[in-house]
A = this chain, B = another copy of it.
């Protein structure tokens, strides 16, 4: 796969340094086809490679249990930066930095930012190398550029699927955000967590566009889900089993709150939270998802019942206001 840096030399050095005999490769869906080529490199280096086949959407989903179960002495996790403070199995993160040029896409974005002066800049881990280059293009075109650093992420300006603290930290200071990277996913997160006009500069398609209509559509869906959940009598409170998604104490609090409000509430634990999983419990009226908030926000059309985030549940039972939640941003904080 061209256009990404898989840091093969670093991987080989780490294997040698650790004397690793058995290595688990974990790649997100878009990069999985590289698994075989990378496994071959590892095998030539004298270690046994095993490729994790299960879905992987973030560093929250690090395959520690799988590694322990397979007696693996090194995990190589691709495509995400470190999220957990500590892993029980030695782990290296290969962030798969992209080498695709971004200048054309950013130039396409300029007309869409014409009414705005102060621009917040954000990107996924893949494009961090080019942030300064993008800043220069914007400055040359008369913009003031701010790159947020909340201290919670590995790098300034970086956003992940669920952590928008860097853009939130500067939302009050900017007129709009420019997100550099492919796909709608991260840019939607920027818009949903800041309520600011957000433009994508997509270097893979060499085009730029506003994500604001898409974000508005999701906000309307979330409102409809909250409204539907207000009449729920039985809640399913979902605990995620992925290492960085497990929030048992939060789930317990929600269960108690629902019961305090006179509703029934049941704890459900699952690794993969999908429509099929939730269909198995027909007597549940609405779910509260304490795992990955993107499951609620991005996939709501796929579920037949409301699947609220923790914040949305607080609105549904009247413990928080919709307006305040929107102001805080749709992601837990």
Using C-beta atoms within 8 Å of the partner chain, give the interface range for chain A.
35 or more
Q: Which residues of B contact A69 (CB under 8 A)?
A: 65, 241, 246
Shortest Cβ distance from A237 into B: residue: B50
A277 CB contact (under 8 Å) in B50, B53, B246, B248: B53
B281:A50 contact, CB within 8 angstroms: no
A268 CB contact (under 8 Å) in B51, B280, B284: B51
Within the complex, the shortest CB–CB distance from A164 to chain B, in Å, comes to: 27
> Per-residue CB proximity of A66-86 to B under 8 Å, as 1/0?
100111000000000000000
Shortest Cβ distance from A67 into B: residue: B269
Shortest Cβ distance from A278 into B: residue: B53
CA–CA, A266 and B23, complex, Å: 12
Within the complex, the shortest CB–CB distance from A295 to chain B, in Å, comes to: 12
Report copies per complex: 2
B-binding segment of A31-39, A102-110, A296-304: A31-39
A36 CB contact (under 8 Å) in B238, B278, B283: B283
CA–CA, A51 and B112, complex, Å: 49
CA–CA, A238 and B248, complex, Å: 32
Interface residues of A in 28-52 (CB under 8 A from B): 29, 32-33, 35-36, 39-40, 48-52
Decide if A60 is an interface residue (CB 8 Å cutoff): no
Decide if A54 is an interface residue (CB 8 Å cutoff): yes
**B-binding residues in A (CB < 8 A):** 24, 29, 32-33, 35-36, 39-40, 48-55, 65-66, 69-71, 234, 238-239, 241, 246, 248, 252, 264, 266-273, 276-278, 280-284
- 20 contacts across the A-B interface (CB closer than 8 A): A32-B280, A33-B280, A33-B281, A35-B266, A35-B280, A36-B264, A36-B281, A39-B266, A51-B267, A53-B268, A53-B269, A53-B270, A53-B277, A53-B280, A54-B241, A54-B269, A54-B270, A54-B277, A66-B271, A71-B248
